[in-house]
């Protein structure tokens, strides 16, 4: 006779088999984690004469900044490489040429020695000018090399005093290099001009701007930004679209960044296998003043110029980013003459266009930031079981759960009937 323990063991085995069959372990987990470069953060601190002002919780702006830096240094995640750069820390004279060169690397970006970093910060005293543009250029050099997450955190209490080198243009030039460096800005008790300039710097690189009035706000925000650098992110791969499909860069599934000037068309190429579905989306950021009424177009064509599908979106000045997307399923081939031969891929040309315009006073270079996402998934009619449970196939997962529930109910009902029959027999 089958005992209850054996029956329970067989039921558990059935459920385990269902779980293994229906939800196989991912290959990524089996392969193990891959090593990543440690994220890099450069803290850029304004040490100009205006930092002597005593208007942050009864103390000076410099004292608030030092306290924030000490707290951040104590809390920096072990995997983050931290550096410190100053601006206006050494030259107190009136020579503009010397004052606008007054930026230096106080602590080199790398593994953190907390005692050494705190000692360096303790020596700072409010001194000179506010060369924000040169300091940003220096910080970008501090972070050069590798493919790690890179972030500049700029803390200042005033706007740049070294025009005509516009720090907002410097930030745009840094973004245009495609090195995926984000600049976050914090304004200490800022006025309207400072707020506008720091906002422009941050937006040019996809960073954030924060206005600070109290010590706790400064410490908390800087710590938050340093922690954010340690979070896993997907960095776009820099690419450059062509003026026509022929000779355009060949893209695979992934995230890409580019730049596009007003009214420009750029082309990219993607190979789509039979049974695959191409999913593409594009976002263009209006990182400067533009005229109202604009649009973004994403178009898929054959290499011969025949349009396959398009996506478009229009704006009227109420948003800083405009996005659109498209989907193109490539049908399975019916040719079974050579089952061992690899099916031929179709080259799809993707055109990204915009209808942005701007007043004559607005600079057109570098172009506006473009972010292009390419995804290749198994099409709706694909027979691949492996892809049926991937992202975008939620209804398959629901069907599997329903089936598993039905089987579990049948097994449990059978067990219950068997127990009742045994009880009646006894």
pLDDT on residue 31 = 42
What is this structure's pTM? 0.59
What is the rounded CA–CA span in Å between residue 130 and residue 111?
Answer: 28
Residue pLDDT, tens place only, 107-139? 999 999 999 999 999 999 999 899 999 999 999
Mean pLDDT over 35-40 rounds to 81
| Rounded Cα–Cα distance for residues 297 and 262 (Å) | 13
How many angstroms separate the most distant Cα atoms in the chain? 106
In this prediction, residue 268 has a pLDDT band, given cuts at 50, 70 and 90, of very high
DSSP state of 112: -
Domain boundaries, the chain: 40-230, 237-332+343-386
pLDDT of residue 154 exceeding 80: yes
Helices (H), 58-214: 61-75, 96-99, 114-122, 132-142, 167-176, 192-204
Q: What is the pLDDT of residue 390?
A: 36
∠ CA 72-222-172 to the nearest 5 degrees? 135
Q: What percent of the chain has pLDDT over 90?
A: 49
The Cα–Cα gap between 139 and 132 comes to: 10
Token output for 25: 């372990």
What pLDDT is attached to residue 67?
A: 93
Q: Nearest 5 degrees, angle CA 116-CA 119-CA 122?
A: 155
Q: How confident is the model at residue 404 (pLDDT cuts 50, 70, 90)?
A: confident
Q: What pLDDT band is residue 165 in, cutting at 50, 70 and 90?
A: confident
Task: Give the separation between CA 185 and CA 203, rounded to whole angstroms.
Answer: 10
Over residues 370-400, the pLDDT tens digits come to 999 999 988 765 433 333 333 344 455 666 6
Q: Is the pLDDT of residue 228 over 90?
A: no
In whole angstroms, give the CA distance from residue 130 to residue 92. Answer: 11
pLDDT computed for residue 81 by the predictor: 94
Does 3 score more than 80 pLDDT? no
Q: What angle do CA 146, 152, 153 make, to 5 degrees?
A: 155
Q: Phi/psi of residue 404, each to 5°? A: -65, -40
Range from 31-35, 45-49, 169-173, 286-290 carrying the lowest mean pLDDT: 31-35
Say whether 385 sits in a helix, a strand or coil.
helix
Which are the contacts of 110, defined by CB distance < 8 A and separation ≥ 6? 81, 82, 83
Check pLDDT > 50 for residue 93: yes
pLDDT at 11 over 90: no
The hierarchical CATH code for the domain 237-332+343-386 is 2.60.120.380
- The closest of 372, 378, 377 to 350, measured between CA atoms, is 372
Q: What is the CATH number of domain 40-230?
A: 3.40.50.410
Alpha carbon distance 141, 145 (integer Å): 9
- The Cα 368–Cα 260 span in angstroms is 5
Tell me, what DSSP letter sits at residue 50?
A: G
pLDDT score of 378: 82
- 193 versus 315: the higher-pLDDT residue is 193
- Burial label for 105, CB within 10 Å (0-12, 13-18, 19+), is middle
Contact present, 128 and 157 (Cβ < 8 Å): no
Q: What are phi and psi of 32, to 5 degrees?
A: 90, 160
Q: Which of the two residues, 276 and 342, has the higher pLDDT score? A: 276
- Any idea which of 19-28, 74-83, 342-351 has the lowest mean pLDDT? 19-28
Looking at every residue in the chain, the average pLDDT score rounds to 83
29-33, 38-42, 319-323: range with highest mean pLDDT: 38-42
Burial of 133 (0-12, 13-18, 19+ CB in 10 A): buried
Q: How confident is the model at residue 6 (pLDDT cuts 50, 70, 90)?
A: very low
First to last CA, the chain: 14
Strands 237-238 and 181-188: unpaired
The CA distance from 168 to 202, in Å, is 8
**Residue 91's Cα: distance from chain center in Å?**
38
CA-CA-CA-CA dihedral for 139, 140, 142, 148, to nearest 10: 130
Q: What DSSP letter does each residue of 289-307 carry, written as one string?
A: ---S-EEEEEEEE-TTS-E
């Amino acid at each position: 006779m089958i005992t209850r323990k054996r029956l329970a063991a067989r039921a558990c085995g059935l459920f385990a088999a269902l779980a293994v069959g229906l939800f196989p372990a991912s290959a990524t987990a089996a392969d193990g984690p891959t090593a990543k470069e440690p994220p890099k953060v450069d803290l850029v601190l304004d040490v100009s004469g205006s930092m002597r002002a005593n208007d942050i919780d009864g103390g000076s702006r410099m004292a608030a900044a030092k306290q924030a830096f000490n707290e951040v240094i104590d809390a920096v995640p072990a995997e983050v490489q931290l550096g410190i750069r100053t601006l206006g820390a050494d030259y107190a004279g009136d020579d503009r040429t010397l004052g606008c060169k007054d930026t230096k690397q106080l602590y080199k970006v790398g593994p953190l020695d907390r005692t050494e970093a705190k000692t360096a910060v303790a020596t700072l005293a409010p001194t000179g000018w506010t060369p924000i543009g040169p300091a940003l250029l220096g910080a970008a050099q501090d972070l050069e090399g590798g493919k790690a997450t890179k972030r500049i955190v700029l803390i200042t209490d005033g706007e740049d005093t070294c025009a005509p080198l516009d720090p907002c243009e410097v930030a745009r030039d840094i973004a245009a290099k495609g090195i995926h460096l984000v600049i976050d800005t914090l304004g200490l008790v800022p006025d309207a001009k400072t707020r506008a300039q720091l906002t422009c710097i941050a937006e040019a690189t996809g960073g954030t701007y924060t206005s600070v009035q109290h010590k706790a706000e400064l410490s908390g925000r800087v710590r938050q930004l340093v922690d954010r650098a340690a979070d896993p992110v997907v960095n776009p791969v820099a690419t450059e679209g062509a003026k026509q499909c022929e000779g355009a860069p060949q893209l695979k599934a992934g995230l890409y960044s580019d730049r596009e000037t007003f009214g420009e068309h750029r082309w990219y190429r993607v190979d789509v296998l039979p049974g695959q579905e191409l999913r593409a989306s594009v976002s263009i950021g209006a990182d400067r003043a533009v005229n109202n009424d604009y649009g973004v177009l994403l178009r898929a064509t054959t290499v011969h110029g025949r349009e396959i599908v398009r996506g478009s979106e229009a704006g009227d000045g109420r948003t800083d980013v405009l996005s659109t997307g498209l989907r193109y399923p490539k049908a399975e081939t019916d040719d079974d003459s050579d089952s061992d031969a690899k099916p031929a891929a179709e080259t799809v040309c993707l055109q990204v266009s915009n209808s942005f315009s701007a007043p004559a006073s607005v600079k057109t270079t570098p172009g506006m930031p473009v972010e292009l996402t390419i995804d290749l998934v198994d099409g709706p009619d694909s027979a691949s079981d492996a892809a049926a449970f991937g992202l975008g196939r939620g209804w398959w997962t629901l069907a599997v759960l329903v089936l598993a529930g039905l089987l579990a109910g049948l097994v449990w009902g059978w067990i219950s009937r068997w127990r009742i029959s045994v009880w009646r027999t006894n």
